[in-house]
Chain A
Amino acid sequence: MSKGKALPSAQFKQQLAEAIPHLRAFGRSLAGDRDIADDLVQDTLLKAWAARDRFIAGTSMRAWTFVILRNTFFSSMRRKKFTGNYDELVAERILSAPASQQDPLHLADLQRALMELSDDQREAIILVGAGGYSYEEAAEIANCAIGTMKSRVSRARKTLEEILDEGRFTSASDGHENLTATALENIIGEVEKIGS
């Protein structure tokens, strides 16, 4: 197997800078919080820079840095440095929709619903449904089989549809604080299951 060529420093920096908006969007969808997401992006930039000799010219900088970001997020979740959250300020905005859509989804509802998913399902639906990645690319980023990715997206979509259709965010509470806590508990529970 031939070793790929590394990028010159200036080009690496430029491509890394171009990936930042996508890292922020991915990070915020994953963590549900602007500040946490931006911390994640900063960590990702530092790690990417430190590992830049391993980036191969001609491959996707965005996909490479997404892997770093999601690995940072999941490993930090295990250490509870980052916790999934719900960003009320961001969520106040209403998603735009074509005029033919009578009832556009509210960003607040969508963010809440996303935080009710398991981490792997949330990651899958963000990569494929929001980021526009193919199943194959998303599977590579999430380090899973394509079939697993398809299954995660399908389950995530179904769960989101049910939650949004029925307005069933949590069985525990309608309140935002409790809702966040419940979503968090779900995530921490999932992480602990993985860790055990």
Chain B
Amino acid sequence: MVEHVGSTNPECVLDIRGLTKSFGTNVVLDGVSLTVERGKTVCLLGPSGSGKSTLLRCVNFLEKPDQGSIYLSGRRIGMREGGVIPMSTSELAQARARIGMVFQHFNLWPHLTVLQNLIEAPIHVQRRSRDEVVAEAEMLLERVGLTDKKDVFPNRLSGGQKQRVGIARALAMKPELLLFDEPTSALDPELVGEVVAVMKTLAEGGSTMLVVTHEMGFARETANEVVLMDGGRVVEKGQPSEFFTNPKTDRARQFLQRYVSA
């Protein structure tokens, strides 16, 4: 097999090829391929246990895939060019810093204020100047509507506010790609809207996003492409207008029925 050097498409920010991952005998990813182009939002849908979160976590090597390759803007992630030698921890850390991640349970740093959460990694990982980073962080907090909370510690925030901080924290890294791992699943229903609203402005503002979600409304209105996963495989992908009104596979129809009736 010929090892591709990145993607031939320069607009391709994320290129996942033939990814497999097993936990023991449990096959979680069974040859998944997927691309996300610059400025596009791709939503990963599927029942729980279908492998979507694992796929997301493989992108920045929080989980190490067994086989397959991942390219970020044409550069291999996790393995050195050639795909035989794994990246050193320092190379991996540098690669991870190019990808922003938003977690289901927010995963904010509790010992730091909201502003400190935003500037921590840009200053101490990316080694950018503090003044520049603080100014940008303040703008980001304004964008997510949390300027008045900048000196507050995370445990004083509501879930929706925490997640908006989580998003701003990811943006502060100026990432090439944003990963969202079920960003609204841990929220009370009345708080989902404020987070989805922020994600919509990001998508419309040209961020490149890969989103694992159960928010069908968001996927339908905002995604450029939806990808349905089941049993560790991609079973259908397409434009949301097609996918939601005229799914091609039985599996997609079943999945949608459950969500429409629920």
Whether chains A and B associate is: no
Chain B interfacial positions (CB closer than 8 Å to A): none
